[in-house]
Chains A and B, each alone.
Chain A
């Protein structure tokens, strides 16, 4: 990147030599910088095939008037401080504000994207950075057609990328990865997206740290991936008929640590996922904190806090091959006679009632009724349907992860 400092700077403005970005790009060579002055410029399908930097000054708005605005087809391109707008929905091609293909070492920084079908769409790009971008789509609950909105940040076949400090709102998926590896995703906010705040498939060895996924239509869904690390993220208010804080499908050998799950219909739903360590997470006020299907094995659930969830753990199987150990369960009513901080009686977090609901969803109307309480109690005393091994032998008496407060 150092060599770019030696390039020329080409100005773009109505009264400049280059009143259009297209002519400036045309005139530029590798290493040049193009400074776009305040103003609105119609830019349509402009292809960048040089290692140049385009940066905005004041409010530099690139308006696609319906079309894709920029195509990037070269390594070492940098886009900074620009506003993109008006890229229309199209069912034939994936139009985006910035569409990058086979471009390594990209830098996309402080880009504002408004009313764009897709926001930033990166294909086969490695070692790039997307940071401090603010992407706001038009998706509202009225425009319920998912296909009418694209994804805010969309990566396909990318490696070693850094995605940080971005805010993505009101798109189909906030952050979408397919075949993305070794990527670092941190400090992003993904809010009010139609479908998923974060959605990835076949994306291994990625690290998600300190992101917030809030009020997304269906929460976060991650699938067919391994060696995923998620730490310190917040999954909040993902609410709806089929909304998840975090949906794990076919995820293996992964870590979930220090995350906060609050007010989600189902905080974590794990399906066919194995060898995941869930440690030091906080589950608070969720409908179901942890739904773990019978096809999940060798997962370790340890030192988590389960607070004020309607149901802590539910499963569809009478067998269990996962380990629950040393968690704090607010529902726990046992005692600690030897005062070592660990309850003397094991805790069974699965309630019979959750089985009944799985059988007959309408029976949710009986929740907290005396009859159901009696059934749960009977099942607790002599487990018949609930897995005998799904039990926390060392329930902790006090909150473990106090530092995970309820911040948003």
Chain B
């Protein structure tokens, strides 16, 4: 579904992505991990064509990432949901629907995230968590084969977080490819079938979480990752 071939990216002299080769199959739930500055957000921006790779190729469902049509296949949920201060969530859903040229009914998602009493208020008046839920609605509103989520559960209350994970499982069952970053290891452990570990612009691990635990001999992901980082330093 998503393929990266020898993707390099440098900003000036700083090498951010250093030859990324990735293959993410259809229907997979993949989590990308890595410390700050490892190139996670740059890679994600590359998928959305916000950042143009210095070299290498990215294809989304068979189309180059810089093709407008490629983004038709992606739903995206950004990390911080500061969109428009003076517009309501309903109007925002409408707007994004206009941009995509399809108008699915968001009401079930609004109910799912208990947003009913908030969707008519200006976005600027909403709390951070509520805004994050608005953002989540956008991620699941459209029927796209790929869903890209940037730190989706940050700021969500426990109930919403559960509901969010339910949705991911549901989408997975429907055969969607889900690609997300997260700092919250419990979330990753719970939903991710596959891990991608990024370090200094390179993929140092791609595989199932269980395999990683096995390879490092650790009990949970947190420790496994710490182990990898220690190894790298040494």
Asked if the two chains touch in their complex, CB atoms less than 8 Å apart, one says: no
